[in-house]
């Protein structure tokens, strides 16, 4: 949120790295706390044998899908806010450049931009 600065998390490679660190950390803590019994989370107790292969496949898929969902959510949240702020700033600048009544009316998108910067700061804190 600092003008003319660079946001590292606006690149997908950075968010993928962060997501991988979180996933490996989660796996490490789970193995340390439960040992090999951690693999039991893929198969809840009391299931009929007919649905065991399908459920184990779904559970393993969902375990690895976190590797995609964490980075993409972070990347999308950061980039969508940046794009919205740039579009509104460009719109206000175009209104200023046009002159006339639009010069006075440009304060409306600037007010929205000002409010959205606080919202973006909140989103950045939540993502951090």
Do 72 and 66 contact (CB within 8 A), yes or no?
no
1 has pLDDT over 70: no
List all residues 6 or more positions away from 105 whose beta carbon is below 8 Å from its beta carbon. Answer: 95
Mean pLDDT of all residues in 11-33: 91
What are the residue boundaries of the structural domains of the chain, listed by start?
8-127
Cα–Cα distance, 1 to 32 (Å, whole number): 38
List all residues 6 or more positions away from 88 whose beta carbon is below 8 Å from its beta carbon. Answer: 109, 112, 113, 116
Q: What is the mean pLDDT of the chain?
A: 86
Whole-prediction pTM value?
Answer: 0.69
List all residues 6 or more positions away from 72 whose beta carbon is below 8 Å from its beta carbon. Answer: 12, 15
**Looking at residue 2, what is its pLDDT?**
67
């Amino acid at each position: 949120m600092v003008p003319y600065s660079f946001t590292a998390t606006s690149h997908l490679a950075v968010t993928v790295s962060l997501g991988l660190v979180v996933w490996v950390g989660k796996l490490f803590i789970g193995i340390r706390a439960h040992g090999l019994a951690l693999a039991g989370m893929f198969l809840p107790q009391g299931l009929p044998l007919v649905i065991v292969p399908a459920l184990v496949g779904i559970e393993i898929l969902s375990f690895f899908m976190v590797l995609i969902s964490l980075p993409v959510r972070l990347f999308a949240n950061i980039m969508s806010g940046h794009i919205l702020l740039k579009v509104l700033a460009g719109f206000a600048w175009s209104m200023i450049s046009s002159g006339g009544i639009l010069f006075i009316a440009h304060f409306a998108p600037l007010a929205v931009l000002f409010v959205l910067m606080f919202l973006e700061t909140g989103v950045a804190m939540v993502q951090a």
